[in-house]
Structure 1
Amino acid sequence: MTRLRVVAAVREELRRSALWYDQKRRGLGRELIDAVDTALERVRSQPESAPLWRPDRPYRVIHLRRFPYSIFFRIRERDVEVVAFAHQKRRPGYWTER
């Protein structure tokens, strides 16, 4: 199984998003976290099955089904690095300098 490394900014983005959803409806933040956990398990088990974000970049992307977020990651020699948890309406690629 592939080792998954999640950068700190991703954890913070997810935390803030879950809090926002919990303010909308109690328990919805937990549902977001569960959706992310499911997506990350797919990334961990089959990272190459996700499409490239752009052909000229090393990043791959997986979109959450229920929430308007995407997870961006790159496959490294020894692990998979998750570099962004991004709202789909936010400026694309804001996270590429990580």
Structure 2
Amino acid sequence: MTEHSGGWSFLTSHARVLLAIAREGDLRLQAIAATCHITERTTQGIVTDLEQAGYLSRERNGRRTHYTLHPDRTLRHPTEAHLSVRGLLELLTPPSSEH
């Protein structure tokens, strides 16, 4: 058993998918799944959940899908409902080197 298998973690798969999309909005489901270490089927379900909850929208562009995040949405759990997705993304994504 590896250090990461079978236990718990601080971030859910939903948070990991959201972060992967925040880092690059044009990733294919396969790449998101690989980044998050989950199956494509699970990734597809999570993207659907996030879209239905208003955290992102999808737009087809030929064979590709572009994802747009809605960072002003608040987190779902009542304990964190006063916090926005933007705050989570700022906390968990490295600052851009662009100025």
Query: Do the two structures share a fold, i.e. TM-score over 0.5?
Result: no
More helix by share: 2
Please tell me whether Structure 1 or Structure 2 has the larger radius of gyration of its CA atoms.
Answer: 2
Normalising by structure 2, what TM-score? Answer: 0.29
Normalising by structure 1, what TM-score? Answer: 0.29
